[in-house]
Chain A
Amino acid sequence: MNLTDIIKPGNLVYTKPKLLTEKTMHYCPGCSHGVVHRLLAEVIEDLGIEEKTIGISPVGCAVFAYNYIDIDWVEAAHGRAPAVATGISRTNPDKIVFTYQGDGDLASIGAGEIMHACNRGEDIVVIFINNAIYGMTGGQMAPTTLLGQKTATTPNGRDAGRNGYPLKITELIAQLPGTSYVTRQSVQTPAAIRKCKKAITKAFQAALDKKGTSFVEVVSTCSSNWKLTPEKSNEWMEQNMFPFYVPGDLKDSSKSDPESYAPLKN
């Protein structure tokens, strides 16, 4: 039997989403970005929203995300993606806007912008890639770097006294009344990938339904800067990151308006 005998439309069970471009991704082997990009392309295609979805790419390894998913994109300054998304979403309420940000972008330099966009309950989706290290600049400490984790700027391991503590920003985001769906996912196994796709779908559906901000953290690997093989990276992530950044939903509700937030009577 030849390969051409197997490759027939009738046998096709899985294919590249149409929205993924032909460009070769620049990501390192074992990096989670490629998988998350594919999931995004699938979800946007499944929901049929490619003509009204605008992505905001960050500063970081995913700066070129616009080369890989065939929708409109705006490239933001470092950390400012949630403000850029707010500008588009507010002036184009019929459009779906999402940001795609790494841990340095979202939890360090952009901590202010993400907090306030989520607190305003902007009807946007946030995809947060947390690999506990700066990728593009060459493996420096991230706000989410674990205590004891070695990076280019913590060569002897992150020390709480010198460097402060790893920031559980997703837990903080879940406290904000503007967010409706806050979840932590990963993409290291086929099961995890399927779960993550469900979460991303739910997040985009929430934006379509104007439920406020949806926030999907993806605990991710960075083989190059962790200096591990892709396989060892997955193991390291499961052993070291999952106990601290525990996967699962942190919040699942429609935009809350609890009594403690009742407006003053004028």
Chain B
Amino acid sequence: MGELRLMKGNEVIAEAAIRCGCDGYFGYPITPQSEIMETLMEREPWNETGMVVLQAESEIASINMVYGAAASGKKVMTSSSSPGISLMAEGISYLAGAELPCMIVNVQRGGPGLGTIQPSQADYFQSTKGGGHGDYRLIVLAPSSVQEMNDFVDLAFKLAFKYRNPAMILADGAIGQMMEKVVLADYIPRRTTEELNETCGSWATNGRKSNRHQNIVTSLELNSEKMEANNIRFQEKYARMEAEEVLYEEIQCDDAEYILVAFGSSARICQKSVDMAREEGIKLGLLRPITLFPFPKNPIAALAKRVKGFLVVETNAGQMVEDVQLAVGSGVPVKYFGRMGGIIPGPSEVIEALEQKLIGG
């Protein structure tokens, strides 16, 4: 059993990064996630584990510092919030195109534009469908508690290195700012140069030793046939993620007639809605996607065979609902309920929407 603490979600990301042997953090302040870099600077991990922490001049520079360090095989990360992630989109596309592992935290706020600093889930499309240019995918993990902010740091790095692909923790202002009990992870030492060369030596640009060919990290390929082969290899990798890495949680789905589908902070509210609905005699369950890409299509399709309808609850204008509709197909109604602008709906609002859109409808 690890160390038990009461911490903010953002602070936990920093603590977990130090403890999982992260080599470097590069970032730029933006609300509501600035505590991540502040906590790191306060902790001075360069004295403890040797982890580098650098405040960059912009999100564009941050993600390109991550790109450089990741190219050399290092375990590195950045964090930001929605407008900052938009600025990083170019670099994220290059990371995906050059097949580099890294971890990106998006503590979402409402948009579009400067929007609001209040919580939102409006970056679902941006995170799960690519976000920058070109055909690529990120591994996207959606924590719904401070504990999962801790647990997903190590998990995101593991998946990023397994697939040589950027992984994202998609949180929101609520999860980032709230304080909860958390069991912190145990310390894992940073990888030694020998360990790095053993696992990443075939591609990492950390100096061409006399015993190997030069390593080149690039996303450029002007020969169309070779570029298409690269694209096919990427797509096969994403398909492998879909086959092997789907994570989700089912709450009271066994006998459910209606299913709520929600991720992150919305799932916390929906969990309460399920309890309240059951007190009223409505057989309601919750399916919580934990990986948003790869998306839990199959478990949703399986539920669709025996339930009367799905209500997708998200604090955006209805984004994940499209993926649920694709998984369900025709036959069973799939409806959306959500609030925007930084407003988080209460559990009873969800039940009202359920009654209006599905049970009564």
A residues near B (Cβ < 8 Å) are: 50-54, 56-57, 63, 66, 70-77, 80, 83-92, 95, 112-113, 115-116
What's the least CB distance linking B47 to chain A, in Å?
15
B206 & A92 in contact (Cβ 8 Å cutoff): yes
Given B60, B61, B76, B214, which contacts A91 in the complex, CB threshold below 8 Å?
A: B76
B69 & A51 in contact (Cβ 8 Å cutoff): no
B52 & A72 in contact (Cβ 8 Å cutoff): no
Using CB atoms, name the residue of chain A closest to B69: A87
CA of A63 to CA of B74, assembled, Å:
24
What's the least CB distance linking B169 to chain A, in Å?
20
Interface-forming stretch among B215-223, B275-283, B292-300? Answer: B215-223
What's the least CB distance linking B16 to chain A, in Å?
19
Using CB atoms, name the residue of chain B closest to A86: B65
Given A50, A57, A75, A113, which contacts B208 in the complex, CB threshold below 8 Å?
A: A50
Majority SS at the chain A contact face = mixed
The reply on B252 being an interface residue by CB < 8 A is: no
The reply on B131 being an interface residue by CB < 8 A is: no
B206 & A95 in contact (Cβ 8 Å cutoff): yes
CA of A66 to CA of B217, assembled, Å:
9
CA of A73 to CA of B203, assembled, Å:
11
CB neighbours (8 Å) of B214 from chain A are 66, 70-73
Chain B positions 78 through 102: 1 when the CB is less than 8 Å from some CB of chain A, otherwise 0: 0000000000001100100010000
CB neighbours (8 Å) of A74 from chain B are 67-68, 71, 205, 216-218
Query: Given known contacts A77-B90, A80-B91, is B208 in contact with A70 (CB within 8 Å)?
Result: yes
CA of A90 to CA of B25, assembled, Å:
10
B23 & A91 in contact (Cβ 8 Å cutoff): yes
Chain B interface residue count: which class? 35 or more
Query: Given known contacts A72-B215, A84-B71, A91-B69, is B94 in contact with A77 (CB within 8 Å)?
Result: yes
B209 & A51 in contact (Cβ 8 Å cutoff): yes
What's the least CB distance linking A88 to chain B, in Å?
4
Report which residue of B23, B61, B215 has the largest number of chain A beta carbons within 10 angstroms of its beta carbon. Answer: B61
Using CB atoms, name the residue of chain B closest to A76: B64
What's the least CB distance linking A66 to chain B, in Å?
5
18 contacts across the A-B interface (CB closer than 8 A): A51-B208, A52-B207, A54-B205, A54-B207, A66-B216, A75-B98, A84-B68, A86-B68, A87-B64, A88-B68, A90-B24, A90-B54, A91-B74, A112-B58, A113-B64, A115-B57, A116-B56, A116-B61
A54 & B64 in contact (Cβ 8 Å cutoff): no
CA of A90 to CA of B68, assembled, Å:
10
CA of A266 to CA of B71, assembled, Å:
38
The reply on B26 being an interface residue by CB < 8 A is: yes
What's the least CB distance linking B67 to chain A, in Å?
6
CA of A50 to CA of B207, assembled, Å:
7
Given A53, A72, A77, A83, which contacts B216 in the complex, CB threshold below 8 Å?
A: A72
Report which residue of B56, B60, B216, B219 has the largest number of chain A beta carbons within 10 angstroms of its beta carbon. Answer: B216
The reply on B72 being an interface residue by CB < 8 A is: yes
Q: A51-B210, A77-B64, A86-B54 are in contact. List 10 more A-B contacts (CB 8 A).
A: A51-B208, A71-B214, A72-B214, A76-B64, A83-B56, A84-B67, A84-B71, A86-B65, A91-B52, A95-B206
Using CB atoms, name the residue of chain A closest to B67: A84
CB proximity to A under 8 Å, residues B241-275:
none
A75 & B54 in contact (Cβ 8 Å cutoff): no
CA of A115 to CA of B57, assembled, Å:
10
A83 & B60 in contact (Cβ 8 Å cutoff): yes
What's the least CB distance linking B20 to chain A, in Å?
16
CA of A52 to CA of B72, assembled, Å:
11
Given B68, B94, B208, B210, which contacts A56 in the complex, CB threshold below 8 Å?
A: B68
The reply on B66 being an interface residue by CB < 8 A is: yes
What's the least CB distance linking B297 to chain A, in Å?
33
What's the least CB distance linking A78 to chain B, in Å?
9
CA of A263 to CA of B3, assembled, Å:
38
Report the 9 A-B pairs with minimum CB-CB distance, sorted nearest first: A87-B68, A87-B65, A75-B218, A84-B68, A83-B64, A87-B69, A72-B205, A116-B57, A80-B64
What's the least CB distance linking B45 to chain A, in Å?
13
CB neighbours (8 Å) of B62 from chain A are 83
B206 & A84 in contact (Cβ 8 Å cutoff): no
What's the least CB distance linking A148 to chain B, in Å?
33
Given A50, A57, A91, which contacts B24 in the complex, CB threshold below 8 Å?
A: A91
Query: Given known contacts A66-B216, A77-B91, is B68 in contact with A51 (CB within 8 Å)?
Result: no
What's the least CB distance linking B193 to chain A, in Å?
9
CB neighbours (8 Å) of A91 from chain B are 23-24, 52, 69, 72, 74, 76
Report which residue of B67, B94, B207 has the largest number of chain A beta carbons within 10 angstroms of its beta carbon. Answer: B207
What's the least CB distance linking B216 to chain A, in Å?
5
B71 & A88 in contact (Cβ 8 Å cutoff): yes
